[in-house]
Amino acid sequence: MLDYTSTQHTVRAAGHSTNLHRVGKGTPVVLLHGSGAGVSAWANWRKVLEPLSANFDVIAPDIAGFGATEMKPDTKYNIMLWVEHFVGILDELGLEKVSVVGNSFGGALGLMTAINHPERIERLVLLGTPCGHFPLTDGLRAQGEFDGTMESMRRAIGYFPYDPAFVTEDLIQARFEAATRDGALEAFRKLMPPPEGDNPIVRGIPEKLLRNVKHKALILHGREDRVVPYERALDMHQWLEASQLHSFGKCGHWVQIEREAEFLKLVKDFLGGET
């Protein structure tokens, strides 16, 4: 099994010292992590890096402000800055065109890159990705309400999987330590402020923009997702011209973890890796 340090590299992109993991050979595929306290590329993708590396050149970066990548106190973090950072990573690595596998926020980042830099993206795999607008879910509220305590971390992570057995004490501890290291909580507050108001609305990528995306896309979504509702996947499938949808029963927000074997087969087949 790969370990953290064996795949770890540092590059500079969009003015940020950027941590990433890279392993394998072949067609380049970038894995983009989600958001949430204590998140990182390694936390999201560590179990699938090695299996995917048998078919692809796999790159899994910590996006600006997350994980071990630099967080600049005077920088405004938004989707366009993250797109710039992602494209900067590709430039630094000399990658003209890549496929993207994006989890939640990472899927939205992949889509916005496809919208703004269509020539840099080959195909898209979108896991639990928000689109359109919808009422704030309890799962998203719990992420924004993380307050640096173990209890709030346990609650936040508990919303991700359908089966609570996936939330182990080791996982909670690892995410808690990452979320509470020096400066991490302050950084997280800037990236994901607490929800405001009685009925806040989440605004994902709108239909008008998604209808302009021509790339082939594979949408993977858990039917019992309590973070980004399954209905978002149905809408996205309608709006993306060249999409296919695969849904998973008794599955929450972590398709790549909860349905690892099926995830790997679907992704390898869709992205065209050698078998």
Assess contact for 59 and 30: CB atoms under 8 A: yes
Q: Which of 217, 210, 34, 240 is nearest to 115 (CA)?
A: 210
Contact criterion met (CB below 8 Å) for 58 and 29: yes
Let me know if 225 is a catalytic residue: yes
Q: Which residue has the tokens 């796999």?
A: 58
Active site includes 99? no
What DSSP designation does 76 have? P
3-class SS of residue 178: helix
Which position among 35, 40, 104, 243 bears the catalytic label?
A: 104
DSSP 92-109: HHT-S-EEEEEETHHHHH
For residue 221, indicate whether it is catalytic: no
Which of the following is catalytic: 21, 85, 215, 225? 225
Active site residues: 104, 225, 253
